[in-house]
């Protein structure tokens, strides 16, 4: 969620940054262009005015060029007006020799002046505009050179120019303020983007939390709250609800089928067992038939156990396996289990010891289920411990919980198998047959785990192959039964 939020914020900021940058660049270029146009207009106006002044003076005076000095020059009266022009102005004769200059032009160095008059030397068209470099300190100038044909044969052309630096001033100011403002705009965009992304993703967060709470198989009856907004979130909630309904239905039929099938199998199995038992005690049964009847009975017993376990699990899944909770001393319960375990261990050649506090350990539990749980663990411990090994059962109590442990010195469980041992029908080493030296169905630990969790507790396992295994069941005192 955080990543989507960050990603959205990032892209929002990038999008806004690019937009602002693009807009700024366009604005800057446009401002620069219009400043140039403004300059061009100004020098065109000045060129026009100068042309007119020369034409009018020629029309009135007849001759406006004097050759009194060493070189021909404009009549002083006329050049006085032109000298006052605030830009660079050059008037030349038809041979491109300079006849008059504005005051500003007179301040130019000889080199700069030469560069400035260059367009006049090459002027072929009636008009020519462009940019010239006069070298430092003036830099680039915008110029307009025009032919003057209406002021007598001695006047050839004139040129007006003005520095670009004056025009660039406006846009560069704009650029500076844009650069100053960009970080502020971007920080604002990050904040607004983060807030926007958070607000629009909040409903998704809610739906995710709810779905997470439903993810275990027993909460499938729950449904998401559908927002009244009728937007995409409402549709998502409706879709998830529809999916939950279908899941609940198929889970339900699966559980019902397992429960019904196990239930239906119980009676025929009982009848079978009674029949075999009767045949076993019948005096006329021959010896070899007795042996196969014995094996049949063992199979029937194992099958009855499996059917019973399946029924328990199916009912637990359906939520129809209520606990008959009553408060009692857990030490008595453990004592009974230890006694049974002692007998089982004796026939298997495994020593069983038990340890418990001297004071009563009172807790409200379903005693039958807890006994079943402990017996499952203890029979496993004995079953998976070779002759001569040891099994220890302990009961301890602390402020918040009661803890049972079942420890053995048996074959242990491979680390790769540990995550699976609580799965239904899972048994380590598939080659091990259900009827061999260690018979079983692989349902014992699944039931054990369900019993621990139904009491609000938990079960954990530690094991080292070849060294032994330790199962720990922790039942909280304030159990959420």
Ligand X SMILES: Nc1ncnc2c1ncn2[C@@H]1O[C@H](COP(=O)(O)OP(=O)(O)OP(=O)(O)O)[C@@H](O)[C@H]1O
Interface with ligand X (CB under 6 A): 376, 380-381, 384, 408, 410-413, 421, 426-428, 440-446, 469
Which CB atom, from 54 or from 443, has the smaller least distance to ligand X? 443
Residue 427 contacts which entry, Mg ion, ligand X, none (Cβ below 5-8 A, type-dependent): ligand X
Which CB atom, from 331 or from 449, has the smaller least distance to ligand X? 449
Q: How far is the CB of 264 from ligand X (least distance, A)?
A: 21
Residue 32 contacts which entry, Mg ion, ligand X, none (Cβ below 5-8 A, type-dependent): none
Which CB atom, from 68 or from 437, has the smaller least distance to ligand X? 437
Whether residue 9 contacts residue 194, with contact meaning beta carbons closer than 8 Å, is answered with: yes
Q: How far is the CB of 447 from ligand X (least distance, A)?
A: 8
Contacts of 88 (CB under 8 A, 6+ apart): 102, 104, 105, 108, 116, 141, 143, 159, 160, 161, 162
Q: How far is the CB of 427 from ligand X (least distance, A)?
A: 3
Q: How far is the CB of 465 from ligand X (least distance, A)?
A: 9
Residue 408 contacts which entry, ligand X, Mg ion, none (Cβ below 5-8 A, type-dependent): ligand X
Whether residue 385 contacts residue 428, with contact meaning beta carbons closer than 8 Å, is answered with: no
* CA 51 remoteness from chain centre: 73
Whether residue 457 contacts residue 448, with contact meaning beta carbons closer than 8 Å, is answered with: no
Q: How far apart are CA 477 and CA 330, in angstroms?
A: 12
Which CB atom, from 91 or from 381, has the smaller least distance to ligand X? 381
Which CB atom, from 262 or from 448, has the smaller least distance to Mg ion? 448
Whether residue 313 contacts residue 446, with contact meaning beta carbons closer than 8 Å, is answered with: yes
3-state secondary structure of 93: coil
Q: How far apart are CA 233 and CA 223, in angstroms?
A: 14
DSSP 282-303: -TT--HHHHHHHHHHHHHHHHH
Whether residue 393 contacts residue 406, with contact meaning beta carbons closer than 8 Å, is answered with: yes
Residue 421 contacts which entry, Mg ion, ligand X, none (Cβ below 5-8 A, type-dependent): ligand X
Q: How far is the CB of 432 from ligand X (least distance, A)?
A: 7
Residue 394 contacts which entry, ligand X, Mg ion, none (Cβ below 5-8 A, type-dependent): none
Q: How far is the CB of 379 from Mg ion (least distance, A)?
A: 6
Q: Near Mg ion by CB under 5 A, which window of 237-245, 355-363, 376-384, 431-439?
A: 376-384
Which CB atom, from 9 or from 405, has the smaller least distance to ligand X? 405
* Candidate list 24, 193, 444, 457; residue touching Mg ion; CB under 5 A: 444
Residue 469 binding Mg ion, by CB under 5 A: no
Q: How far apart are CA 396 and CA 331, in angstroms?
A: 10
Residue 157 binding Mg ion, by CB under 5 A: no
DSSP 352-379: EEEE--SS--EEEE-HHHHHHHHHHHHH
Q: How far is the CB of 457 from ligand X (least distance, A)?
A: 18
Residue 411 contacts which entry, ligand X, Mg ion, none (Cβ below 5-8 A, type-dependent): ligand X
Residue 380 binding Mg ion, by CB under 5 A: yes
Q: How far apart are CA 121 and CA 157, in angstroms?
A: 10
User: Which one, of 481, 338, 455, lies nearest residue 403 by Cα?
Assistant: 455
Which CB atom, from 13 or from 469, has the smaller least distance to ligand X? 469
**CB hemisphere CA count around 96 (13 angstroms):** 12
Residue 152 contacts which entry, Mg ion, ligand X, none (Cβ below 5-8 A, type-dependent): none
Q: How far apart are CA 154 and CA 92, in angstroms?
A: 9
Which CB atom, from 181 or from 414, has the smaller least distance to ligand X? 414
CB burial readout 279-304, b (16+ within 10 A) else e? eeeeeeeeeeeeeebeebbeebeebb
Q: Near Mg ion by CB under 5 A, which window of 116-124, 197-205, 341-349, 440-448?
A: 440-448
Residue 13 contacts which entry, ligand X, Mg ion, none (Cβ below 5-8 A, type-dependent): none
Which CB atom, from 52 or from 464, has the smaller least distance to ligand X? 464
- Cα distances from 391 to residues 358, 385, 474, in angstroms, run 21, 8, 19
Q: Which residues bind Mg ion (CB under 5 A)?
A: 380, 444
């Amino acid at each position: 969620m955080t990543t989507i939020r960050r990603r959205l914020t990032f892209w929002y900021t990038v999008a806004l940054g690019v937009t602002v940058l693009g807009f700024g660049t366009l604005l800057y270029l446009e401002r620069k262009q219009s400043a140039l146009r403004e300059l061009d207009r100004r020098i065109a106006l000045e060129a026009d005015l100068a042309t007119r002044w020369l034409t009018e003076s020629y029309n009135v005076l007849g001759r406006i060029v004097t050759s009194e000095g060493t070189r021909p020059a404009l009549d002083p009266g006329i050049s006085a007006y032109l000298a006052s022009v605030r830009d660079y102005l050059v008037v030349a004769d038809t041979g491109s020799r300079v006849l008059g200059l504005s005051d500003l032009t007179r301040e130019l160095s000889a080199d700069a002046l030469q560069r400035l008059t260059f367009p006049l030397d090459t002027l072929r068209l009636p008009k020519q505009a462009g940019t010239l470099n006069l070298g430092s300190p003036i830099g680039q100038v915008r110029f307009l050179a025009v032919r003057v044909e209406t002021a007598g044969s001695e006047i050839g052309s004139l040129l007006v120019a003005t520095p670009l630096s004056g025009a660039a001033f406006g846009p560069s100011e704009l650029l500076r303020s844009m650069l100053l403002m960009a970080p502020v705009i971007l920080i604002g965009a990050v904040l607004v983007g983060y807030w926007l992304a958070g607000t629009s993703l909040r409903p998704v967060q809610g739906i995710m939390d709810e779905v997470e709470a439903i993810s275990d198989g027993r909460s499938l009856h729950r449904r998401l709250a559908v927002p009244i907004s009728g937007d995409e979130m409402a549709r998502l909630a409706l879709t998830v609800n529809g999916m939950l309904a279908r899941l609940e239905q198929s889970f339900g039929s699966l559980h019902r089928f397992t429960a019904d099938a196990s239930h239906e199998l119980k009676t025929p199995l009982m009848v079978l067992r009674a029949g075999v038992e009767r045949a076993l005690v019948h005096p006329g049964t021959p010896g070899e038939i007795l042996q196969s009847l014995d094996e049949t009975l063992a199979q029937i017993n194992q099958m009855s156990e499996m059917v019973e376990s399946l029924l328990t699990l199916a009912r637990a899944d359906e939520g129809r396996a209520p606990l008959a909770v009553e408060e009692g001393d857990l030490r008595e319960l453990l004592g009974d289990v230890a006694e049974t375990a002692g007998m089982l261990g004796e026939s298997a050649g495994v020593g069983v010891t038990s340890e418990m506090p001297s004071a009563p350990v009172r807790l409200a539990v379903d005693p039958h289920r807890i006994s079943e749980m402990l017996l499952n663990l203890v029979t496993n411990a004995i079953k998976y411990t070779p002759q001569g090994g040891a099994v220890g059962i302990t009961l301890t109590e602390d402020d918040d919980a009661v803890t049972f442990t079942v420890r053995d010195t048996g074959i242990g469980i491979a680390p790769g198998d540990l995550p699976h041992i609580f799965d239904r029908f899972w048994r380590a080493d598939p080659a091990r047959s259900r009827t061999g030296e260690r018979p079983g169905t692989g349902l014992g630990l699944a039931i054990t785990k369900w019993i621990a969790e139904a009491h609000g507790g938990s079960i954990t396992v530690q094991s080292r192959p070849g060294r032994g295994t330790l199962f720990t069941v922790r039942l909280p005192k304030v159990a959420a039964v």
